Amino acid sequence: MYKYDNYDQAIVDARVAEFRDQVNRRMAGEITEDQFKPLRLMNGLYLQLHAYMLRVAIPYGTLDSRQMRMLAHIARKYDRDYGHFTTRQNIQYNWIKLEECADLLEELASVEMHAIQTSGNCIRNISSDQYAGAAADEVADPRPWAELLRQWSTFHPEFSYLPRKFKIAVIASPEDRAAMRLHDIGLELVRKDGELGARVFVGGGMGRTPMIAPEINPFVKADDLLSYIEACLRVYNRYGRRDNIYKARIKILVHEIGADEYRRQVTEEFAHVKTLGIDPPLAELERISAFFAPPAFDAADVEPDRSDPDFAVWLDQNVKPHKQSGYAIVNISLKPIGGIPGDASSAQIDVMADLAEKYGFDELRVTHAQNIVLPHVAKRDLFAVWQALREAELANANLDLISDIIACPGLDYCSLANARSIPIAQKIATRFADAERQRDVGELKLKISGCINACGHHHAGHIGILGVDKKGVENYQLTLGGSGAEDVSIGKITGPGFDEDGIVDAVEKAVEKYRELREGEERFVDTYRRVGMDPFKEAIYG
Amino acid sequence: MVEFRYRDDEVTEQPSVTLDAFLDQSNATAVRLEPDDDARKLIPFLDRLTLIEIAFPKFRDGRGYSSARILREAGYTGELRAQGDVLVDQIAFMRRCGFDSFAPEGSLNPEAVERALSTYDQFYQKAADAAVPVWKLRHG
């Protein structure tokens, strides 16, 4: 794990002092809410329906037990005893008081955490693969690159007032667990003649106009990376649309001028930027990489005893192979049937921290699917981990099944939402509560957004649900066939929308149609791709 | 009105002209760029300019930050002024992008500006100012 040096700490500490000053000026009436808004937003503080919401950055979703315990402490002291893990691998707190915010940030800074650039029209928290450092299929650990980008993007003086927010993801495996091509910039680390570099994709995104990012450069060398990304951003900052908030993301620019023209402009800008000496020496990437050296793996390769049937089910569903023999990757689902996707209580957060410390080389990850990962658990400890999780109601064996739902906070919290998301997630999970039926249905990624901004990633759901406002009544549209993985695709809308109960029925009909039509090992999305929309449409509306 | 100026030379008295007017009538020494003007069009003329004013009609419109850096990167050493909706909390970023004078529409508290400019001692990235980035401090 990356550890701050004095420079990193000084910058985060200065940020706390600056924000304290900004809050004080706002409370004294020296600045208006309109002037305060972009300042608080650049620090992750939103004014929501009922209270301030604070989003805390978890860079590339990686944290240690000390940081995890701090998140529990903050939930206890400043919020209502729970936190909400987000699709950006962050955590947000829903009931924050403005006057306590600076104290909260000071506590975070004491464990090398912050809320810098978790909102606002700037470069947001860099996201990555939750299995980084543990996945057998990675060419390298992507996190050193993400940390390099985190530092470069922090308080970037030129790119803090972009046309719109800007999200970057870094992966290093052919299997995409981070929805990389649905980001403003997606980087996939690859090797060419033994040298590590990045494939660069630009202009993906969800929201009102979902786009899959085209490849802009097949290989950018490590010591050119920051210059190249700076060139990508400068072209966007200068030419991205600012006349219409809905057309301001980089995907619209890339789409309107075309990938070839965008690539040409970036290449030209890069030729200039490269002369400015903004790239750190490779020694800096090496310095950062040293923090991500593999832990001291030494466990013998023992297969766990599967005699407890519930444990066996959890093993099969939530535990994934590790690149090191004797170890496994444990996924902790934050999706209990009927619960709020991504929420965890302070006590549960503490339990996960304890398990990481005791069994997991002190590491935790947050996933974009709003779950938690213990990336390095010895197989001999899996049963003990499972027992502790079960005790804390965290042993839900539903990873990637239909009840492992991504949902945005929706109208229960969010001032932008048109409809509630959480109750829909709860009803669908409850409808499919029968664990055997869920497992029979298999991998099915269901994602719910409460408005067109698509925070719940509905476009990328095998089944997606979008809440809209239809003449003052909540209405839910259904999409099929999306994916945020390496088989990335945008879901297609089935037809007219449904009311709250209607959408649950429609989902069930689509699932049953799949069970009827599937061949061999096909997942829901495979069957959909093979047979097309019509049979599903007929089942849903017929 | 210029409220904050971080250079020692004389203030240019000549009123600034628009980019189009400047490109037509090249004897002017002061020019004003709007957010959608291409700063690179000035590059052939930088040695005869003493003032480039960059307009910020709305503080949220950040195009002027790129314009400023482009001009400094091209070697412009004259006055680079941010004019318009310039707020206390933008000034530190603007200084790093090469601005050295400020003409905010609303009056700013000089103490607050001073505080904003002295908040950070360390910077992660190389920009258009003299600050040495953290990576360079780490590796020499």
CATH of residue B48: 3.40.50
Sort out which chain A residues have CB atoms less than 8 A from B67's CB and list them.
Answer: 238
User: Radius of gyration (Cα) for chain B, nearest Å?
Assistant: 15
The stretch B49-54 carries a mean pLDDT of 96
Q: Does the beta carbon of B134 lie under 8 angstroms from any beta carbon of chain A?
A: yes
Domain that holds residue B77: 4-139
Q: Does the beta carbon of B122 lie under 8 angstroms from any beta carbon of chain A?
A: yes
Mean pLDDT in chain B? 94
Q: Does the beta carbon of A25 lie under 8 angstroms from any beta carbon of chain B?
A: yes
**Backbone φ/ψ region at B96: left (φ over 0), alpha (ψ -120 to 50), beta:** alpha
* CATH number listed for the domain at residues A6-109: 3.90.480.20
CB contact under 8 A, A159 and B65: yes
CB contact under 8 A, A159 and B137: no
> Is residue A416 classed exposed, middle or buried when 0-12, 13-18 and 19+ CB atoms within 10 A define those classes?
middle
Of A30, A155, A284, the CB nearest to B135: A284
Q: How many domains does chain B have?
A: 1
pLDDT for res B140: 82
CB contact under 8 A, A237 and B63: yes
pLDDT for res A47: 84
Dist CA A487 CA A170 (whole Å): 17
Q: Are A506 and A540 in contact (CB under 8 A)?
A: yes
Q: Does the beta carbon of A7 lie under 8 angstroms from any beta carbon of chain B?
A: yes
Q: How far is A284 from chain B (nearest CA, A)?
A: 7
Of A5, A14, A278, the CB nearest to B125: A278
Q: Is A395 helix (H, G, I), strand (E, B) or coil?
A: coil
Q: Look-up: residue for tokens 């009102």? A: A208
- pTM for this one? 0.96
Q: Are A424 and A500 in contact (CB under 8 A)?
A: yes
pLDDT for res B42: 97
pLDDT tens for residues A279-311? 999 999 999 999 999 999 999 999 999 999 999
Dist CA A139 CA A191 (whole Å): 7
CB contact under 8 A, A10 and B136: no
For residue A473, CA distances in Å to A119, A138, A420, A421, A499 come to 29, 47, 11, 14, 8
Indicate which of A4, A7, A40 best probes the interface with B, i.e. most B CBs within 10 Å of its own CB: A7
Cα dihedral A160→A366→A368→A150 (10° resolution):
20
CB contact under 8 A, A157 and B60: no
pLDDT for res B25: 76
Neighbouring residues of A512: CB distance < 8 A, sequence distance ≥ 6: A539
Q: Does the beta carbon of B31 lie under 8 angstroms from any beta carbon of chain A?
A: no
Q: Are A132 and A138 in contact (CB under 8 A)?
A: yes
DSSP output for A151-172: HHHTT-SSSSS-SS-B-EEEE-
Selected from 3.40.1190.20, 3.30.70.3340, 1.10.3720.10, 3.20.20.70, the CATH number assigned to the domain covering A309-391 reads 3.30.70.3340
Dist CA A182 CA A487 (whole Å): 12
Q: Is A290 helix (H, G, I), strand (E, B) or coil?
A: helix
Of A157, A162, A272, the CB nearest to B97: A157
A215 secondary structure, DSSP code: E
pLDDT tens for residues A31-72? 888 888 878 887 889 888 888 999 999 999 999 999 999 999
pLDDT at B26 over 80: no
Report the residue of chain A nearest B138, measured CA to CA: A284
Q: Does the beta carbon of A520 lie under 8 angstroms from any beta carbon of chain B?
A: no
Q: Which alpha helices (H) appear in A91-205, and where do they start and end?
A: 101-109, 143-153
Report the residue of chain A nearest B56, measured CA to CA: A161
Which sign, positive or negative, has the C-alpha torsion A305, A437, A496, A407?
Answer: negative
Q: Name the segment(s) of chain A with CATH classification 3.30.70.3340.
A: 309-391
Sort out which chain A residues have CB atoms less than 8 A from B126's CB and list them.
Answer: 276-278
Sort out which chain B residues have CB atoms less than 8 A from A162's CB and list them.
Answer: 62
Q: Does the beta carbon of B111 lie under 8 angstroms from any beta carbon of chain A?
A: no
Q: Does the beta carbon of A4 lie under 8 angstroms from any beta carbon of chain B?
A: no
Sort out which chain B residues have CB atoms less than 8 A from A38's CB and list them.
Answer: 59-60
Q: Which residues of chain A have pLDDT under 70?
A: none
Dist CA A434 CA A163 (whole Å): 46
CATH architecture for residues A406-541? 2-Layer Sandwich (3.30)
Q: Which of B23, B33, B67 is nearest to B53 (CA)?
A: B33
> Where residue B89 falls among pLDDT bands split at 50, 70, 90?
confident
Q: Does the beta carbon of B26 lie under 8 angstroms from any beta carbon of chain A?
A: no
Sort out which chain B residues have CB atoms less than 8 A from A11's CB and list them.
Answer: 120, 122, 124, 134
Dist CA A224 CA A196 (whole Å): 12
The top-level CATH class assigned to A134-289 is: alpha beta
Sort out which chain A residues have CB atoms less than 8 A from B65's CB and list them.
Answer: 157-161, 237
Q: Name the segment(s) of chain A with CATH classification 3.30.413.10.
A: 134-289, 406-541
Q: Does the beta carbon of A241 lie under 8 angstroms from any beta carbon of chain B?
A: no
pLDDT for res A30: 85
Q: Name the segment(s) of chain A with CATH classification 3.90.480.20.
A: 6-109
Q: Are A285 and A222 in contact (CB under 8 A)?
A: yes
